Structure 1
């Protein structure tokens, strides 16, 4: 059984002009069963009057609030983590929720095995869509391309220090993916709890990763940064990387063959393109959902 005080956790909630959900995220953090827990709301330069009033109310209620200039989520997370000397950290999006046992179970796993650098859990989605979030099992070859672990995972302060924190130049998304890869580059293991303790909200305001994914040029720039930040990890697992890459190519070829008749119809009947495009995007979304993690 870990010593509660020595295994203190700081739960960091970055936020930017999202008052409609922030209070719920804080409440789910307050409901955690692990007693040695601090909550820090890190505001990324919000200007919304309702958000500013909420931050003041949270402070009056005893919640620590750190205010930073608007520089993006990486700088905000680093600022919040750097303000605490806790042994462990868990970052929670200001629109997401966690279940009460999450931190306690994650700490016990990490305390029992010093080789483990990341502890996460099973998850579901709620809001505009509901149901299990069917993320693939962790696989080192896959995660070099597709993230299977969401950002709301427990990690060690010593590892955050060792990798230099989140890359603050990554303002276009995938900063959590890159951070995870750098922890794996330290030789750390990953553990998934079987409980469904993380709830990922679905709504009309897309994540930064979703926005990034719409531009091939942006994706190339972001993934190039990840490759440069994690060269040793990619080289060490080159065979696994290419195996996953070629499997993805085969899936794409299979989709093109499966829907080639629809593409032929599009050429003959251009006005039907809108319908065909919807069908194709639905097929692509089903494939992407199997492979991709959050943000």
Structure 2
């Protein structure tokens, strides 16, 4: 691990699969960091797109290495990059996203000052097909037990990556970062969110994240794998899961009480129900023709 007058080295790791259209923006945002001691490691995860292959082959970005591997998914690509990294701190960055110039400096300051902290992230904006603040719930242990609230582009210590065994490469469909953050927190590390908007998350019409959410079986299998891999964590924090579960029951009861009479009326008047379904279907057709 390298340190000294320039401060601890930060390795920004970028997995890339057919993302040549956006890769230069991501790399340039990494190179623009005000923190001086940064290296960039790109792992080409078996890209098949000719334009992406050409960009990676001819890459001449400073302080940047490009590593090639057969396609194995983002988790494996990140693990390869971190394994090759010489920095004490790691910042993953997806090839289509962008970080603001002060992100690394502000995050490093927290890890340098507080040994108990294992993860530093920030507030974020969406750009691309959507724009505006990305309103994720603020981090708490309770929120993390229920679902992920830390995006992948967060700074952590390479030593902790080594202890937890890196990213789970079985999670090919998505949210491998959720499993990773659980393991880091389960080491007893604290999480800090910077009160600055320093990460830009690109929204695309087609993306791995959207595809993941559209296939229920993949979601179930993925979260089941995360649960099995972290049984101790979930057992210690089971009360949060059941608080959430019974809270959902209360909410469902509320809506049933509020709209139960309407449902009952529609069931007892099938012609009206049929007419409403027809209107809904007609509306979908008309929207599709625009």
TM-score range, shorter chain: 0.7 to 0.9
Scaled by the length of structure 2, what TM-score is found?
0.87
Task: For residues 200-232 of structure 1, give each alpha carbon's deviation from its aligned partner in whole angstroms, at most 9, with x where no partner exists.
Answer: 1112122x3332222332222111111111111
* Rg larger for: 2
Distance 1:74 1:224, change over 3 A: same
- The aligned residue for residue 54 of structure 1 is 55
Determine the C-alpha separation between the residues in 2 that align with 1:174 and 1:277. 32
With structure 1 as the length reference, what TM-score do the two structures score? 0.86
Q: Offset of 1:119 from its aligned partner?
A: 0.1
**CA gap 1:95/1:249 in 2 versus in 1, 3 angstroms:** farther
Relative to structure 1, is the Cα distance of residues 67 and 250 closer, same or farther in structure 2, using a 3 angstrom cutoff?
A: farther
- Misfit runs of 4+, over 3 Å: 2-6, 59-62, 248-268, 273-278
Distance, in Å, in 2 between the alignment partners of 1:30 and 1:10 is: 11
Match of 2:156 in 1: 155
Q: How does 1:62-211 map to 2 (within 5 A)?
A: 63-206=64-207, 208-211=208-211
Report if aligned partners of 1:266, 1:276 keep a CA contact under 8 Å in 2.
Answer: no
Q: How does 1:176-255 map onto structure 2 within 5 Å?
A: 176-206=177-207, 208-251=208-251, 254=254
Distance change (3 Å), C-alpha of 1:58 and 1:247: farther
Root-mean-square deviation (Å): 2.4
Paired residue secondary structure (1:144): helix
How many residues are treated as equivalent by the alignment?
276
Q: CA separation in 1, counterparts of 2:33 and 2:257?
A: 49
SS at match of 1:242: helix
- Show CA shifts across 1:42-101 (max 9, x none): 111001111011112324655210111101011100001000131100001111111000
In structure 2, what is the Cα distance between the partners aligned to 1:237 and 1:244?
A: 12
Aligned CA distance change for structure 1 residues 136 and 4 (closer, same or farther; 3 Å): farther
8 Å Cα contact 2:40-2:63 kept in structure 1: no
**For structure 1, which runs of at least 5 residues remain unmatched after alignment?**
279-295
Q: Which runs of 5+ in 2 are unaligned?
A: 267-271, 286-290
Match of 1:24 in 2: 25
CA drift of 1:273 comes to: 3.3
Whose RCO is larger (CA < 8 A, sep 6+)?
A: 1
